[in-house]
Amino acid sequence: MEISAWAERIRQGQKRAIARGISFIENRDPRREALLQSLYPYTGSAALIGVTGAPGAGKSSLVDRLIDAIRREGKTVGVVAVDPSSPFTGGALLGDRVRMTRHALDDGVFIRSMGSRGHLGGLAVATREAAVVLDAAGIDVIFVETVGVGQSEIDIMHLVDTVALVLPPGSGDAVQVFKAGIMEAADLFIVNKAEQPGTERLVKDIEELLDLSGSHRPWRPPIVKTSVKDEMGTDEMWRQLKRHRRYLMESGEGERRQRAHLRREVEAMVEEELRRRLQGRLEDSAIKTDLDRLQQREWTPQQVARKWMAHLAAGKGGDRE
Ligand SMILES: Nc1nc2c(ncn2[C@@H]2O[C@H](COP(=O)(O)OP(=O)(O)OP(=O)(O)O)[C@@H](O)[C@H]2O)c(=O)[nH]1
Ligand SMILES: [Mg+2]
């Protein structure tokens, strides 16, 4: 199919065209670049919401409920569930980890799970590109669900407008979560499974940590107690997500954040390309020789870096695809 005709189908929100677009992204198909280019002008209006937290915290269950609230408002929803620990999913519509199958027949809901393939930086790029496809398709709200609170999640969270961090009570010391670096990224704290003991304790811990670290910030992240089991709190979660979006738009913070994200996105691409070229340009034997020099303390890492940079600069670029 012609790229332009295909892009048009995506823009009309046709599910099969969208799914195929995301498959191209996952497979790193060379044609994806032309597709993304024709879609890009039509993006920028979707609300991008990251939902992160430890495995089993209830992220998918919460998103499943939020979909109800959003659909009641007549808006469309996309979900990209990213799991860095699982192998490439091959475009499987839903893994076991995505508890949203009941929405599968709704034309206003598009759900996709993405596993890792290659390195994690690539996964963040692929997630971003999948969001571009959904955004161009006119989807109003796009959730990016990521498992865990490691570096790969932090990378992925730099792609979204709003970050909701889901914590179940009794998940250990909340302070540890904050130390993991996701604290600065969280715009909303969701204490899920709030029907369980330990909820008030966790809320209090989060409040105290917010008092310590964030009192000067213009947006104080709200703490929302939810229980998917007892059908409690998810409407409030959606209300707070909308409140944060309004804050982003009215304060100018949204624009600032988007620019920072775009810059990071471009920089990540440049870094990846440089690494690829470097690998293409340096012989394995040359790398071995340089590493020997370092280990023998004959050269410094700076000297080697300068040599490698000189190799890059000497090339015309793109010589090894
Ligand atoms: N008791 C209780 N269980 C819940 C609640 N929310 C979700 N669960 C259960 O917790 C388990 C994990 O829920 P998921 O929604 O799959 O959690 P997740 O964070 O998406 O999990 P991963 O994607 O595997 O990281 C499921 O068995 C849910 O039924 C809740 O509010 N209370
Ligand atoms: Mg999940």
With a Cβ cut-off of 6 Å, ligand 1 is lined by 53, 55-61, 97, 99, 147, 192-193, 195, 227-229
Give the whole-number percent of the chain exceeding pLDDT 90: 56
Region 250-277: mean pLDDT is 89
Tell me the three-class secondary structure of 87-127, residue by residue: CCCCCCCCCCCCCCHHHCCCCCEEEEEEECCCCHHHHHHHH
At 129 the pLDDT is: 92
At 84 the pLDDT is: 61
At 321 the pLDDT is: 37
Instruction: Kindly state the DSSP code that residue 221 receives in the 8-state scheme.
Output: P
Asked if residue 276 has pLDDT above 70, the reply is yes
Chain segment 171-204, per-residue pLDDT in tens:
666 666 666 667 778 899 999 999 999 999 999 9
Q: Whose CA is nearest to atom 23 of ligand 1?
A: 97
Q: How far is the CA of 258 from the centre of ligand 2 (A)?
A: 26
Give the whole-number percent of the chain exceeding pLDDT 70: 84
Asked if residue 62 has pLDDT above 50, the reply is yes
Atom of ligand 1 nearest to the CA of 226: 31
* Residue 104's pLDDT band (cuts 50, 70, 90): confident
* Residue 68's pLDDT band (cuts 50, 70, 90): very high
Indicate the burial class of 52 (C-beta count within 10 angstroms; 0-12, 13-18, 19 or more). Answer: buried
Q: How far is the CA of 70 from the centre of ligand 1 (A)?
A: 20
Q: Whose CA is nearest to atom 8 of ligand 1?
A: 58
- Write 13-18 long-range contacts (CB < 8 A, 24+): 13/76, 13/107, 13/137, 13/138, 13/139, 15/107, 15/110, 18/110, 18/133, 18/134, 18/137
- Domain extent listing, the chain: 42-251, 265-314
Of the candidates 290, 320, 315, which has an alpha carbon nearest to the alpha carbon of residue 303? 290
H-only helix segments in 141-295 = 151-157, 174-177, 199-214, 234-251, 253-281, 284-295
Q: Token pair of 129, please?
A: 């590109």
Question: Which of the two residues, 114 and 139, has the higher pLDDT score?
Answer: 139
Task: Point out the ligand nearest to the CA of residue 55.
Answer: 1
Kindly state the helix (H) or strand (E) to which residue 190 belongs, with its residue range.
Answer: strand 188-191
* Residue 90's pLDDT band (cuts 50, 70, 90): very low
Q: Token pair of 11, please?
A: 């823009």
* Torsional sign, CA 68, 153, 266, 319: negative
At 140 the pLDDT is: 98
At 85 the pLDDT is: 60
Most confident by average pLDDT, 8-17, 82-91, 139-148, 211-220? 8-17
Chain segment 40-50, per-residue pLDDT in tens:
999 999 999 99
Of the candidates 302, 177, 164, 298, which has an alpha carbon nearest to the alpha carbon of residue 237? 164
Axis-axis angle for helices 253-281, 234-251 (nearest 10): 90
Atom of ligand 1 nearest to the CA of 148: 25
At 319 the pLDDT is: 45
* Homologous superfamily of 42-251: P-loop containing nucleotide triphosphate hydrolases (3.40.50.300)
Atom of ligand 1 nearest to the CA of 147: 25
Asked if residue 149 has pLDDT above 90, the reply is no
